[in-house]
Structure 1
Amino acid sequence: MRAAILHETGQDRLEVRDDVETVAVGPGTVRVRLRAAGLCHSDLSAMSGVLPQPAPFVPGHEGAGEVVETGPGVTGLAPGDRVVLCWMPPCGACPHCLLGETHLCVASLKRLGVPAFRFGPGGGTAAYGFYSTGSFAEEAVVAADALLRVPDDLPFELAALVGCGVTTGFGAVVNTARVEPGSSVAVIGAGGVGVAAVQAARVSGAARITVVDPVASRRERALALGATDAVEPQQLRAAAKGLALGGYDYVVEAVGRSETVRAAYDAARRGGAVVVVGAGARDDLVSFSLGELFFGEKRVLPSLYGGGDVARTAARVVELWRAGRLDLAGLVTHRVPLADVNEAVALMRSGEALRAVVTLD
């Protein structure tokens, strides 16, 4: 089959090969025929080494397709089921899961050292799937708990986004921040996650939703999808100071950089909340003085994978899409076939694409 391979961390381009094989289906695993995959900035971060991922590997963790084959012991899934990949599924038994914090379960990370693909003559070279998924491939074999069933009326290219970007941005607003009606919200970063947060703020009844991004086309798309106003990064401070309380009730940081986290903190009002969604580097440090933390009483709320039960959050996203209250199609700005995956990578790096979808039909 065909798949895109990153041979070494730090490389800019993927190699699309047609001699890739998956591992065999075994106990507790499922073979999925992938139909669409979203390209997320987390994939670019893994390619560059910001996020840890052994190489060689098949990028992609936003994927949608159909179940082809199930292994022994798999229940609740059958061939033909429409599914999306869940890159960090809960185990249901660890202390975090038992506390109801299923989004903080890391049991699945133990699978990162297990190759999921082989390529080359005779299938001689082992390759991993990004975060035990690997959606830039025509097929993937993943653990059964890494799949979420979705309705058959949800198109594959939209379903793929539910696997990470939309669920992450939507959940940050609804689960982590718990934005209240009539409140003011700023979202820094108008990529796929950021604009999903914009739409979630609108659904939650926020009165003012300011999107912050240096790219004009992304600001315009966010305005079309629910933002009330849009500013460039250098204009954020003035916009915040112009509010009655001198800042926003909630500021969502969807970039993953220390400077944008700091800007988010400065733009929040006293007693407001800063929701950190962006996946940044471990050595990228942000600092706050003890005095400002004490006096401002601003809450810093990291949000991982939507900050709540992933399956429940994804289901809410799908129902709101079906009701016409979430525009998933509006998040997709570019579609490319797998053969042109490097075009999608370039578009995402340049900031031109809100979300690029790789089609695998």
Structure 2
Amino acid sequence: MATITTTAAVAHQAHTGWELTQLQLDDPKEHEVRIKFAASGLCHSDDHITRGDAKVRMPVVGGHEGAGIVESVGENVTRVKPGDRVVCSYIPACGACRPCSLGHQNMCVKGLNAGTGMFLDGTFRFHKDGEDYGGFCSLGTFSEYAVVSEWAVVPLDDDIPFEIACLVGCGVPTGWGSAVYAAGVKPGDTVVVFGAGGVGSNAVQGARYAGAKNVVVVDPVQFKRDSALGLGATETFATAEEAHEYVNAVTWGQLADHCILTPDAVTEEIVTAAVLMTGKGGKTTITAVGHAEEKAVTLPGGFLISYQRQIRGALFGDCNPLYDIPKLLGLYRSGDIKIKELITNRYSLDEVNRAYDDLHAGKNIRSVILHDA
């Protein structure tokens, strides 16, 4: 093995977009693997970096949805070997720490440094001219190659295309699990999903799969509303006011059992509208992040107490990567969930800024970078 050069899309500071940069990439150390990426998902969370909404250490290599082939491994790696096809999980899962042992792999202690992009030993693997570059979520899938923790890779069967697999590293389980696990949708429930992008579309699929009677989508973009209807939504609206009126009517005044928040950015207005749209014992599940300097959950306690409403956050949709990534790919195989249909556009690495411009223009549900394109 030897240190190699890789081309990566890097954010050097907020509001300047992504810049293709030649970086030096270290050899993998103990319990680390070096991956040659084939595909990377373009998640809104990476966009929050360049827009200044996510406080991460810079410079940082973007990307936290990726799939590819293991190029080399460090010492004592047992989960995979060179040549294996893998999908990365942006939440590593060691399987042995306290959260993992309690069934909460989405809170594995191996992910403590995700915001800095450094490894648990306090070092980095990307470098240029003596400066350390982090990888977002300790991955950095907007790079041809990256060194990642052994605990952040999940073996991938040969029949799953890389562009499908990369989306199951974040967007699919985060949305699907937000409905099925975090919200706990049950048959016959009424569910409202705010935001029908790459995560919200999968919350729609999760709610449908869990047996919800009404799956209502709120999104200002007509294209996303139309797409949601093909993924299991029963009604869609451009505004929360329209949705509230419909939910009140269709439930005979009982209101929604669940509101799941997956917009581009969670705001106080959205949270308040969602809480007021839930009925007695209803739950609002917050999955999307908000603007770093703004408070999103500020409302009178009586709104919660009088109807015994709940508000909770969801990380990775409460999914366990080692269990749920293979399970979701199995549901894709059987046709129970749609993933290929989520891919609106495909881009090469040098088109990453155009890809996010298209996202802001409402043209993408989920798009992917194909590294060999």
For residues 108 and 60 of structure 1, the distance between their equivalents in structure 2, rounded to whole angstroms, comes to 15
Cα shift at 1:280: 2.1
The correspondence of residues 70-81 of structure 1 with structure 2, limited to 5 A, is 70-81=73-84
Query: Does residue 87 of structure 1 match 2:90?
Result: yes
1:15 aligns with 2:24: no
Task: Tell me the CA shift for residue 247 of structure 1.
Answer: 1.2
Are the aligned partners of 1:88 and 1:109 in contact in 2 as well (CA < 8 Å)?
no
Q: Conserved in 1, the CA contact under 8 Å of 2:54 and 2:291?
A: yes
> Equivalents in 1 of 2:339, 2:58: separation in Å?
32
**Aligned equivalent of 1:211:** 217
Matched, 1:66 2:69: yes
Aligned residues: 356
1:55 counterpart residue number: 58
* Structure 2: distance between partners of 1:223 and 1:12: 36
Cα shift at 1:298: 1.2
| Contact 1:249 1:273 (8 Å CA) reproduced | yes
Deviation for aligned residue 1:282: 4.8
1:6 matches 2:1: no
2:242 aligns with 235
Q: Partner letter of residue 328 of structure 2?
A: V
Aligned-residue offset at 1:21? 2.3
Q: TM-score, normalised by structure 2?
A: 0.91
Q: Does 1:336 align with 2:341?
A: no
What whole-Å deviation, never above 9, does each CA across 1:224-253 have from its counterpart, x for those lacking one? Answer: 111111111241221222122431111111
AA in 2 matched with 1:320 = L
TM-score (norm. length: structure 1): 0.94
* CA displacement at 1:292 relative to structure 2: 2.0
Matches within 5 A, 1:90-105: 90-105=93-108
User: Partner residue of 1:115?
Assistant: 124
Residues 283 and 240 of structure 1: CA distance in aligned 2, closer, same or farther (over 3 Å)? farther
Give, in whole Å, the separation in 2 of the partners of 1:280 and 1:311. Answer: 28
CA apart distance, 1:274: 1.1
Tell me, yes or no, if the aligned pair for 1:240 and 1:268 is still in contact at 8 Å. no
What stretches of structure 2 of length at least 5 have no aligned partner? 1-5
Distance 1:134 1:324 in 2: 30
- Residue 199 (structure 2) pairs with residue 174 (structure 1): no
What is the RMSD computed on CA atoms of the aligned residues?
1.7
- Where 1:306 maps in the other structure, the secondary structure is helix
Match of 1:31 in 2: 34
Q: Secondary structure at the match of 2:246?
A: helix
Shift of the alpha carbon at 1:20? 2.1
Q: CA deviation at 1:179?
A: 1.1
Whether the 8 Å contact between 2:179 and 2:207 is mirrored in structure 1 is yes
Q: CA deviation at 1:81?
A: 1.3
Larger deviation, residues 58-67 vs 279-288: 279-288
Please list the CA deviations of residues 157-213 of structure 1 after superposition, one character each: whole Å capped at 9, or x if unmatched: 111110001010011111112211121111100101000011111111111111110
Cα distance in 2 for residues equivalent to 1:145 and 1:11: 32
Percent same amino acid at aligned positions?
36
Give, in whole Å, the separation in 1 of the partners of 2:262 and 2:226: 17
